[in-house]
Homo-oligomer: A and B are copies of this chain.
């Protein structure tokens, strides 16, 4: 057996998320079916992490074992010709058999995209949340700075989170503004369920003047989901990059 690692990108608009589930129509289902058609094998994919329904990925990382003799440099093209046009394999490489896309992920970066134009940009409508209200950018930047470092992020986790520890380290948190757009980037050693979307929902309240940057520090310390803002919609979220130590 060989262990293949791939970087993939997908438009999550029409999928019920990454991970296989009874309703079907997931990114994992489609990828495993393409591998089955290509190799005849029933491979099981492991991803760096799940993405929810409607969430996109610029650089998701997956791995799977295969006995197929197809040279690694041919996998991307071979699979892309069998995948729908909203899922693309960007890179494939052979990795040691013990490599695991989830356990070995060291840092993940998510981007949440906001469309700040008055009536919305039709070409970004699937990938950005449309917020036509004026946002207090500098206050949002002061707010997001409070999240950097090692904290208990219980306030920013779905109450459905099943993780035993809610302590995570945010290595970088920044907001890039360009004409008609805000890009919120969060890099961390891991994220809790809905964490980025709750951070963004809370930042929107800061931007709209419902909360101050200082309130975000207080929310973090409260360690209670009800202290934070709403969960921002899925379609603005994109798994940007996953980094490994190798």
Contact = CB atoms under 8 A, between A and B. Distances in A.
Q: How many copies of this chain sit in the oligomeric assembly?
A: 2
A122 B86 contact: yes
A168 B185 CA distance: 46
Interface string A46-62: 00000000001010000
A90 interface: yes
A120 B89 CA distance: 9
Contact of A122 (B77, B87, B119, B125): B87
Contacts of A122: 9-11, 85-88
B119 A76 contact: yes
Q: Which of the listed residues A11, A86, A119, A127 has the most CB atoms from chain B within 10 Å of its own CB?
A: A119
Q: Which 5 A-B pairs have the closest CB atoms?
A: A11-B122, A88-B119, A9-B122, A88-B122, A85-B125
Given A86-B125, A90-B118, 11 more contacts: A9-B122, A10-B122, A11-B122, A77-B119, A85-B120, A85-B122, A86-B122, A87-B122, A88-B119, A88-B122, A90-B119
